[in-house]
Amino acid sequence: MNRPRLSAISLRFRHVWYRNLVTYRRIWKVSFLVPLFEPAFYILAFGLGFSGLIGGVDYAGLNLEYTQFMAPALVATACMWNSFFETTYTSFVRMYYQKTFDGLLATPLCLEEIILAEIVWAASKAAAAVTVMLVVLIPIGYAIFPSALLCIPMAFIGGLAFGSIGMFFTGMIPTIDMFNLPVFLFVTPMFLFSGTFFPISGIPDWASIFSLIFPLYHLVELTRLFCIGAMESNPIFNTSYLLLFSMVFGYLGLRKMKQRIIQ
């Protein structure tokens, strides 16, 4: 009975997106500091502390410095954190504590539009964070100009994927503390095993299958292609996987949220 009605979705969803933008603009100066400094910290830590231990990394037939290998992955993980946190903690607060969705459901908007707006907003925020990161990475030579700019639209697509699965968890989780479960059981392994800190070509086949399931792996491959011009997979396949993942979990997220809110 409570199945999502995709046909009810109209362009009115942009008003909810705008609402989130206005709210965000109040704090953007603070929140942009994170993507600005995060890559610098990682590169310093790994470049100064870590690369002495491991030397170069063999990836896609190239021998890369460790920091060069890792920097594009930071772009992808920033996208993931930004969008996943937006549709989990932030959306949960709007839904549960601020009753924002209840209020919106008394206006000419439907839940389908509200949820879509939340996911698209999460993706937009991810793209904005990646833009800021590139401002740091391009001048210091860790991302090739102009191809690295393709990371921005790709971060939007990746953001849809992470935002969708985040919304799916938000639809299921009883209390805000329980987000620890998807964060530690899903996001943390994804963060570590998506070819972010070491190439998955170096790990056993059975383990690399898990990496292929993670959307982050596909996004990391793509950001690496755009930033250093090399990859170990196929960009069409990676992009399709992210889009398909977004559609599947977008629908499931919507379904869970509808079951939760509309009673």
Partner 1 sequence: MSVIQARNLVKRFDALTAVDSVSFTVENGEFFGLLGPNGAGKTSAIRMIYGFSPITSGDMQVFGMNIEQDWREIRSRLGVCQQNNTLDPDLTVEQNLMIHARYFEMDKSHARQRTEEMLTFFALTNKRRAKVMELSGGLSRRLQLARTLMAEPELLILDEPTTGLDPQSRHQVWDRLVELKKRGLTLLLTTHYMDEAEVLCDRLLIMDHGRIIAEGNPPDLIAEHAAESVIEIEGPGDELRAYIKKNNVRHDDLGERVIIYTESNSKLEDDIRTRFCMEACLFRAGNLEDVFLRLTGRELRE
- Work out which of 108, 146, 174, 204 binds partner 1, going by CB under 8 A: 108
Please say whether the beta carbons of 33 and 141 come within 8 A: no
Piece of 22-30, 32-40, 42-50, 178-186 that binds partner 1 (CB under 8 A): 22-30
* Interaction between residue 7 and partner 1 (CB under 8 A): no
Question: Nearest to residue 82, comparing CAs of 150, 2, 156, 149?
Answer: 156
- Work out which of 102, 184, 192, 201 binds partner 1, going by CB under 8 A: 102
Question: Nearest to residue 70, comparing CAs of 197, 195, 193, 217?
Answer: 197
State the nearest-atom distance from the C-beta of 19 to partner 1, in Å. Answer: 5
* Interaction between residue 115 and partner 1 (CB under 8 A): no
Can you tell me the distance from the alpha carbon of 192 to that of 198, in angstroms, rounded to the nearest whole number? 9
Can you tell me the distance from the alpha carbon of 157 to that of 245, in angstroms, rounded to the nearest whole number? 10
Toward partner 1, which CB reaches closer, 61 or 108? 108
Toward partner 1, which CB reaches closer, 19 or 255? 19
- Work out which of 67, 83, 100, 164 binds partner 1, going by CB under 8 A: 100
Toward partner 1, which CB reaches closer, 56 or 103? 103
State the nearest-atom distance from the C-beta of 90 to partner 1, in Å. Answer: 11
Piece of 54-62, 81-89, 97-105, 244-252 that binds partner 1 (CB under 8 A): 97-105
State the nearest-atom distance from the C-beta of 141 to partner 1, in Å. Answer: 39
Can you tell me the distance from the alpha carbon of 50 to that of 220, in angstroms, rounded to the nearest whole number? 20
